Amino acid sequence: MTDMDKAREIFRNITKAGGYNSTLMTGVHIIAHRPPFYANFYPHGIGNSYNKIESAGDDWLKIAEELQAAIAENASSVRAVHVRNLALKIVDLTEQGECTDVNLRLHGFMDDQIAGMSEEACALAQKMADGGPFKVTIVGPGNGEEEER
């Protein structure tokens, strides 16, 4: 496996683990005073660049490894924002009727986020708003039995 293959694999893993709305951009600078290659990760989407994590240099593998390490350092704050966004959506959907995993997926949340953050997000929703109790009804991908989280 070449260094570029290793870098590509790290970038793929960053993208998979990024969660809904996250964006990974890589590119080549054409400005003389900048390093030739760069990678920018926007954990909350490119429109929310306040939390951008970046790395630049002349070696793709080193850039990928530095970016991966920086993302790991910021993981808890990134997770906290995702939980808050999920809680806000749970409140919104509950006010409209019922909050299901299907509705959350339609609003861009991924299955692993729903499974891993729903309980925490429901507890946060309860602190944030009236109208609870807040819960996510798991319908699943098909016509399976419903369960609550």
Q: Is the pTM of this model over 0.75?
A: no
Q: In this structure, are 36 and 93 located in the same domain?
A: no
Q: In this structure, are 50 and 80 located in the same domain?
A: no
User: For residue 90, what are the CA distances in angstroms to 87, 102, 111, 123?
Assistant: 5, 12, 15, 11
Neighbours of 116 (CB within 10 A): 16
Q: In this structure, are 80 and 68 located in the same domain?
A: no
Q: In this structure, are 134 and 117 located in the same domain?
A: yes
User: For residue 16, what are the CA distances in angstroms to 7, 22, 27, 124, 147?
Assistant: 14, 9, 19, 26, 27
Q: In this structure, are 7 and 68 located in the same domain?
A: yes
Write down which residue in 73, 91, 106 finishes a domain.
73
Q: In this structure, are 69 and 120 located in the same domain?
A: no
Tens-binned pLDDT, residue by residue, of the chain (149 aa): 899 999 999 999 888 877 667 899 999 988 888 899 999 999 878 877 677 899 999 999 999 999 999 988 888 887 888 899 999 999 999 988 889 999 999 998 888 889 999 999 999 999 998 877 899 998 876 544 555 55
Domain span holding position 128: 76-148
Contacts of 76 (CB under 8 A, 6+ apart): none
